[in-house]
Amino acid sequence: MLDPKKIRENFDEINSILNKRNFIIDKKKFESIDNNRKNIIADTESLQNKKNTISKEIGILKSKGEETTLQTESVEQINLELKEKQSLLIKAEDEYNDFLLNIPNILHKSVPHGKSDIDNKIIKYSNDENLEKMTKNTFVDHSEIGKLLNLYDQDIAVKMSSSRFSLLFGSFAQLHRALGSFMIDEHINNHGYTEVNVPLIVNSDSLLGTGQLPKFKDDLFELKNKKNFFLIPTAEVPLTNIFQNKIFDEDELPTKYTSLSYCFRSEAGSYGKDTKGLIRQHQFEKVELVNAVMPSKSDEALDSLLNCAEKILQLLDLPYRKVLLCSGDTGFSSYITYDLEVWMPSQNSYREISSCSNFGDFQARRLNSKYKDKSSKKKQFIHTLNGSGLAVGRTLAAIIENYQNKDGDIEIPDILRPYMNNMKLIKRY
């Protein structure tokens, strides 16, 4: 949520930033909603003031044993008016909140202007040499290799569940599990993260706090039997909600959490895309990194977060590139987002494997997460960040494809061997 005060005071500036992401605040509508709310608050409060004053008077009169009929009647009259005003106020507040909750975040000044992913700015490539070497091989899609090796199956999953689910068997399942452990270990051992095991079901308030609701309900799985329950689309939601309604001391910041969790996404609107393999599943595992930081530190925190995610790709020696998302491709809640994209030989393209964002105070405002400033002693909103470090299913796919040798065997990356009983190869036969 943006600061309503800032919208009032710097309307044109904010609106022109939002225009870059193809969003326009209707100025007249905002002003009317804003003023309407203020007026009704003023009216309601003055009625309440009258009511309180007279009620106190009644208390005093009664203690003296004096007559109070006149006062009682006048409060009764006020109560009638008040009731009317209060129902108007509820409506006005709802309208106000709804309006604000549907405005996306402003953008960092370095976010490039653009409509869609084609306008994203490529920051760097990991190593072109490696890519060249890899592309000489004959590549088979990871799901094809998997089927060939009897380690991957989509057909059974469709029968027991639906499309966009799959099963991993044997070494694939083990490698998948190894990847999750390896990533988490890297973050907790070398980057100062605290591991958290989180609920996979959250309520709507949490999703409102991180920004998935109210706008993106269709992307979520909502539980039918119990009201107000949703499967998490990412561990960002539970991890960031650790900070809800919290006031940090300065020395508690930064707080850095990581979690290996399942994620559930409905993938509404992606029909026909990535129907094969592990790229786009309803259920997948992801290692998530979340930071709560002082506002002045969020730019550097994003760099450090990105480095943590990149480090995983480097340790796995996977070819990747780093991309700065353009205004039109940057997510609703994000202030600035970098994606890491891994090379997928079968698709002859780079695919997103991590997305790292600085949210500024956008989420903190929704979550009511503050810190107490030591010098000014004031409570201010913190900044929140998150990133994938990495998406486990996609990493598995990338390894299967990039580490396939000419015989069709899959080499296990050195760093994962300790997690795989020192297995070196997943053999074709």
Residues that bind RNA (CB under 7 A): 4, 38, 41-42, 45-46, 48-49, 51-56, 58-60, 62-63, 68, 71-72, 75-76, 79, 379
Place of tokens 């306008």: 119
Query: Which residue's CB is nearer to RNA, number 62 or number 428?
Result: 62
Is the CB of 1 or the CB of 426 nearer to RNA? 1
- DSSP of 182-205: HHHHHHHHHS-PEE----SEEEHH
The tokens for 49 are 């003031």
Q: b vs e for 251-260, b when ≥16 Cβ sit within 10 Å of the residue's Cβ?
A: eebbbbbbbb
- What is the secondary structure of 15-70 as a DSSP string? HHHHHTTT----HHHHHHHHHHHHHHHHHHHHHHHHHHHHHHHHHHHHHTT---HH
DSSP class of residue 222 equals: B
Partner residues linked to 354 by β-bridges: 340
CB of 424 to RNA, least distance (A): 36
Q: Name which of 48 and 255 has its Cβ closer to RNA.
A: 48
Q: Which is nearer to RNA, 295 or 331 (CB)?
A: 295
- Minimal distance in Å, beta carbon 379 to RNA? 5
CB of 365 to RNA, least distance (A): 9
Q: Indicate the residue among 90 and 148 with the shorter CB distance to RNA.
A: 90
Q: Is 110 helix (H, G, I), strand (E, B) or coil?
A: coil
Choose between 59 and 418: whose C-beta lies nearer to RNA.
Answer: 59
Sequence-ordered list of residues with C-beta below 8 angstroms from that of 113, at least 6 positions apart, any chain: 20, 119, 326, 327
Q: How far is the CB of 370 from RNA (least distance, A)?
A: 7
CB of 254 to RNA, least distance (A): 21
| Closest-CA residue to 304 (of 249, 239, 385) | 385
CB of 127 to RNA, least distance (A): 46
The DSSP line for 335-367 is: SEEEEEEEEEGGGTEEEEEEEEEE-TTHHHHHH
- Output 51 or 286, the one with its CB closest to RNA: 51
Nearer CB in complex with RNA: 68/255: 68
Closest separation in Å from C-beta 99 to RNA? 13
Question: At its nearest, how many Å lie between RNA and the CB of residue 375?
Answer: 11
